[in-house]
Chain A
């Protein structure tokens, strides 16, 4: 009754069965049955662009994860104002004396104009902050979006109408504007005006605002998928045989929804990286001294007339990351669904 799922146990059992069958037959090429998950993995492995992109994306996540290790091996941290502490690094106007933004053996990516912090560790820790926010938001929006989408599509009727209208309204509005507008509101709801906003709270409110404005996209997609699946024979058959809604949703619907869910979340993550960086750029993201990818652009825009190198490192890093992630998303989509042509 259930569609084949891509779990490891299924795949193992299946290949063992066919191996036995091939062994008893004795001759001819062995016909090996593969689960959809295995098929997808084989298709993906053959896609060179996809594999290279996956390696780049993994490297970024490793950098984010190992930021403290990298910094201790490199011997610097993102908080110390090296340029102000040591003479001979920054000139009277606060710009690095050495050419190309002060790149040297000591400071691989140069120095931050003004404060004189190390750009390399700033970037590594900034990536850590931004990627972790983007990852948290992607996971939460996916969970909420899937839950809302399935609820809306499966129950139909009034529930569907209400959720549908909420989704429509959320999607119609300028999210960038709402992001910056609602951040202070979320914070104001928790912190008194006299108090300084703690770092963790800013982190949480960024996640909350991005999540509230972000779940609608995946919910709408899932709703449409569930609506079409609900009318299919295997779901009806399950219902007729008395399966509980719980069983229908988790055993019948969900296995068929993994593909759109995974594709949608790979599309969403780079968007959240961009959105989080946009907040930092506009000066409403993570606050000093927490290193932040987006805030580096804010500094970069102010200093580019005299020191354009500073802007290049976060900019090129983000370009590489987003291109790699988008290509990876395309490859995953192709691997899951070889019929689609782009």
Chain B
């Protein structure tokens, strides 16, 4: 287990190195002068020269990349702009702050959003899927299947404002979505994020309903289920003690793949409800052509996905004893 983890993390670091090198190259090899982009419309030549020097643009690209990499461990100093303590992922000249700090500030928002949505997706999706499988062919199953087709076709930027209009503006059932730190007030943290969670999970839940249903139906046709039934185990016990474990394995795999999509959904959800998370940071950075910020967000996003995938693989071993992590 330990050696497996060490190998996976090492592999992840290599992938992140490659990604950061490619992203770095793409960002700084384009003929657009980043210094000029940061400098703004009324650009003094001295400021331009300074930013140029601070970016190390007089040096070859791989040296620049090396400085960027080294900065993660040692921190960097940007004269006139400010300090960028380790871990330094670069310094945003557009917003005048270290990239890592900006990401850390917004991290709790995106984490709360995606974690909460994951709970809703898995709990609700698996539950409805199991109900549909339990009542296979009956009206409840048909309703679940039909609504999952519609649910999967919905768009966050359409359902989000629509629900906000009816539930928040008109009926005033829930407060306007915003982020209240959980350490400050857990109840308000929950109620203010409720709508974003629901909206972000709608499109995914439908998929999990469908998958859980078909997986359960498949598992119930397996030999071991027949054996258990033949030995006198009640169908309820087979369903809840045996079959669902087998059905969960592909679900966990797909969830690992979906995490990346979920992060993408979080960007749109943040924009829909004006939550100041990492996605909103990325969108604003795109609008300002804030390349250091974009580079930082990309690397952090990629790192999150890679690490979460390792976590999902480890989770397998707990659900399915047949899986050996070697």
Contact = CB atoms under 8 A, between A and B. Distances in A.
A311 interface: yes
A180 B283 contact: yes
Nearest to B265: A176
Interface stretch (A5-13, A96-104, A153-161, A185-193): A185-193
A304 B159 CA distance: 12
A183 to B, nearest CB: 7
Q: Is the interface of A mostly helix, strand, loop or mixed?
A: helix
Contacts of A308: 161-162, 165
A322 interface: yes
B261 A301 contact: no
A283 B286 CA distance: 9
B260 interface: yes
A274 interface: yes
Nearest to A312: B162
A169 B162 contact: no
A290 to B, nearest CB: 18
A175 B268 contact: no
Contacts of A281: 157, 268, 271
Nearest to A194: B36
B260 A282 contact: no
Interface stretch (B47-55, B65-73, B145-153): B145-153
Most buried by A among B160, B161, B263, B297: B161
B165 A319 contact: no
Interface in A40-71: none
Given A175-B261, A176-B261, A297-B155, A315 B162 contact: yes
A182 B289 CA distance: 11
A172 B268 contact: no
A93 to B, nearest CB: 16
A173 B305 contact: yes
B320 interface: no
Interface in B256-291: 257, 260-261, 263-265, 267-268, 271-272, 279, 282-283, 286-287, 289
A168 to B, nearest CB: 9
B124 interface: no
A177 B301 contact: yes
Nearest to B298: A181
A166 B30 CA distance: 22
Interface residues of B, number: 51
B31 to A, nearest CB: 7
Contacts of A335: none
B157 A180 contact: no
Contacts of B260: 172-175
Given A192-B32, A318-B155, A177 B149 contact: no
A180 B161 contact: no
A229 interface: no
Contacts of B150: 319, 323
Contact of A178 (B158, B160, B298): B298
- Across the A-B interface, give the 7 residue pairs with the lowest CB-CB distance, nearest first: A176-B264, A315-B158, A188-B32, A322-B153, A304-B161, A297-B157, A174-B263
Interface of B: 15, 18-19, 23, 26-27, 30-33, 36-37, 149-150, 152-155, 157-158, 160-162, 164-165, 169, 214, 257, 260-261, 263-265, 267-268, 271-272, 279, 282-283, 286-287, 289, 294, 297-298, 301-302, 305-306, 309
Interface of A: 169, 171-178, 180-185, 188-189, 192-193, 270, 274, 277-278, 281-284, 294, 297-298, 300-301, 304-305, 308, 311-312, 314-315, 318-319, 322-323, 326-327, 342
15 contacts: A169-B18, A173-B302, A175-B261, A176-B264, A176-B265, A182-B26, A188-B30, A188-B32, A281-B271, A282-B283, A283-B283, A297-B157, A304-B162, A305-B165, A327-B149
